[in-house]
Structure 1
Amino acid sequence: MSADEWVWVIKKDVTGREMWRYRGRVVARYPCGALVEAFFDREEMPFFGVVLRPGDRFLEAYFSDRWYNLFEIHDRDTDALKAWYANITRPAEISVEAIAYVDLALDLLVYPDGQQKVLDEAEFAALPLTVDERLHALAALGELQSLWAAPGAPLRWQGLRGLFAT
């Protein structure tokens, strides 16, 4: 893998329609996923107590065998951790040129102190999903919540790379 390997990251809705696309630099590839670095490219916006600013660094973990992706958000000036953000998704489609995922609306925001906030539950409930998809999505949310459940949670000291070893 070249340090200059770039991919398109493509967010889709449940119908498969593309909602958003941006470029990210591949940090590492794994048999079950990829780690990507990208930078926030929208206008400054407050987001549940976290202010996202243009240039904030996102380290993003995508999995072909899990029903979520996970973003570690760092401040553009200090590189301090602002939060973790997880999208509940269908498993990602990962190729040489792109990483595409279908967003299932349900999200988890985790603050640096470990406090958690589940987002968009009403949107998730309104989606036309199968019973199996709902069960996978809810299990994924539970898995993510458990990653931060105890003091010394793995992501606080191991970072996103550690998720690929499990």
Structure 2
Amino acid sequence: MSARSVEVVLVKAGRTKIRYPAEVLADDGTRLTVRAPWAAEGVRDFGFVRFEPGDVFVEYYWRDRWYAIKEVRAADGTLKGWYCDIARPAVIDEGAGEVVVEDLDLDLWVSADGSEVLRLDEDEFEAGGLAASDPEAAARAVVALDELEVLGREGLRELLR
């Protein structure tokens, strides 16, 4: 991979969920910002938003925070909103050209106009058993979701500047 691209590897429950190429936009040593087209096959309709071919994601990964934020735009550039994954801090392997992110099941959606801030997959998180297997990680995940919910209501855009 060139110095301007990386492979994003999303891991869930110890298995690779998806991997896709992304263009590096910025890296300040703490936060890595990449851009990638919608990488899954077909359309994913969540009810509150549709991810579809042509969508472009600007993704923000932190080495020291328990979440990743994905700004989602339609093919025409219209902002759809922000999909926030609660995840362990990103591991950026410069040598392999990879960004590895371990998804912890909790998610948050913030609509483009900020009118919708939705906590997602809390039942999946509970069923996953992280609280029993890694109570510290589970606690950090819940704190991160709470923090992102506040940011979603009060200033997610400021965080991403």
Q: TM-score, normalised by structure 1?
A: 0.86
Please, which runs of 5 or more residues in structure 1 have no aligned partner? Answer: none
Distance 2:156 2:100 in 1: 26
Please state how far the C-alpha of 1:154 moved relative to its aligned partner.
4.5
Secondary structure at the aligned position of 2:153 is classed as coil
Code of the residue aligned with 2:11 in structure 1: it is: K
Residues 1:142 and 2:143 aligned together: no
Distance 2:61 2:72 in 1: 15
Secondary structure at the aligned position of 1:23 is classed as strand
Secondary structure at the aligned position of 1:135 is classed as helix
Please state how far the C-alpha of 1:63 moved relative to its aligned partner.
0.7
Q: Is the 8 A contact 1:33 1:94 kept in 2?
A: no
Secondary structure at the aligned position of 1:149 is classed as helix
Code of the residue aligned with 1:84 in structure 2: it is: W
1:127 corresponds to which residue? 128
Distance 1:19 1:26 in 2: 21
- The within-5 A match list for 1:18-57 is 18-41=16-39, 42-57=41-56
Secondary structure at the aligned position of 2:65 is classed as coil
Code of the residue aligned with 1:135 in structure 2: it is: A
Distance 1:46 1:148 in 2: 21
1:12 corresponds to which residue? 11
Code of the residue aligned with 2:113 in structure 1: it is: D
Secondary structure at the aligned position of 1:107 is classed as strand
Residues 1:105 and 2:91 aligned together: no
For structure 1, which segment, 39-48 or 87-96, has the greater mean C-alpha deviation from structure 2 after superposition?
39-48
2:78 corresponds to which residue? 80
Paired residues, what number?
Answer: 153
Distance 1:91 1:8 in 2: 16
Secondary structure at the aligned position of 2:105 is classed as strand
Please state how far the C-alpha of 1:131 moved relative to its aligned partner.
1.6
Distance 2:147 2:84 in 1: 11
Please state how far the C-alpha of 1:90 moved relative to its aligned partner.
0.8
**Structure 1: 4+ residue segments shifted above 4 A:** none
Q: TM-score, normalised by structure 2?
A: 0.88
The change in CA–CA distance for 1:80 and 1:159 in structure 2 (over 3 A counts) is farther
Q: Is the 8 A contact 2:117 2:153 kept in 1?
A: no
Distance 2:44 2:17 in 1: 19
Please state how far the C-alpha of 1:36 moved relative to its aligned partner.
0.4
Please state how far the C-alpha of 1:83 moved relative to its aligned partner.
1.2
1:95 corresponds to which residue? 93
